[in-house]
Amino acid sequence: MKKQRTPLIIFFPLLLIIFQTVFADTTATDELAVLMDNIRTMQATFIQSLVNQSGARIGTKTTGKMAVARPGKFRWEITKPHDQLIIINNNKMISYDPDLSQITNRKVNVNQPGNPAMLLSSPVESLKQSFQIIKLKKSDEKLWFKLTPKKTKGQASGYQWIKIGFIDNKLNAMYIFDNLDQTSLISFSNIEQNAEISPKNFTFTPPPNSEVFDAQ
């Protein structure tokens, strides 16, 4: 009895779909890499809050200012509703709560962006290695990319996905969908890109009588 051969033509549409998907993902990754690589430094003010399913802001708004010097340096200074300061300098993160006079030191790996702060300051290559990246349709003049963390043994993230929006090649907004199924929106304004930033922005001198904790 002769064996029946499966017609090769059956596989062509499937191969074409796979090829188109891989090509689209690669193009999106490379396009985002170029945009992020163009951000050598960035300074801006920000507003962060939860949003509902309609995209409207709900709850308390957090406002402040930020600075990034890529790769590996990040400053996130909250001024309302309560003062708080986070600084990442290469593989060290410092959190300062002036109301409690407490400082927490923590080791981080900027090549494994486990939170949005590290994502903005991480090298481009780490983004490619850590995320599945797709390009979304333009909305409100913004060019959007969706980043979904790749499941890597021993590496966990505090979110399910992040969307990053650009206007005129400048980072403008971020949506963060966390592991509690809540969505946060961070919008940036007064953006200054690739201007010189003093290294002092990424160092911290503990105030007198502050409590210092070393976290794992």
Asked if 209 contacts 215 with a C-beta cutoff of 8 angstroms, the reply is: no
Give a yes or no: residue 204 inside a domain. yes
CATH number for 115:
2.50.20.10
Would you state the pLDDT for residue 26?
62
% of residues, the chain, pLDDT over 70: 81
Give a yes or no: residue 2 inside a domain. no
The predicted-structure confidence for 58-94, as pLDDT tens digits, reads as follows 999 999 999 999 888 999 999 999 999 999 998 899 9
Query: 3-state DSSP call for residue 11?
Result: helix
Give a yes or no: residue 195 inside a domain. yes
> What residues does 51 pair with on adjacent strands?
57, 183
Number of domains in the chain: 1
Structure token digits, residue 92:
């060290």
CB atoms within 10 A of CB 5: 6
Stretch 180-190: mean pLDDT: 93
Give a yes or no: residue 134 inside a domain. yes
Taking 50 as the threshold, does the pLDDT of residue 21 lie above it? no
Give a yes or no: residue 183 inside a domain. yes
> Band of the pLDDT at 155, cuts 50, 70, 90?
low
Give a yes or no: residue 3 inside a domain. no
Give a yes or no: residue 35 inside a domain. yes
Instruction: Report the predicted TM-score, pTM, of the whole model to 2 decimal places.
Output: 0.81
Stretch 43-47: mean pLDDT: 96
CA distance linking residue 182 with residue 53, whole number of Å: 10
Domain containing residue 206: 10-215
Give a yes or no: residue 81 inside a domain. yes
Taking 70 as the threshold, does the pLDDT of residue 43 lie above it? yes
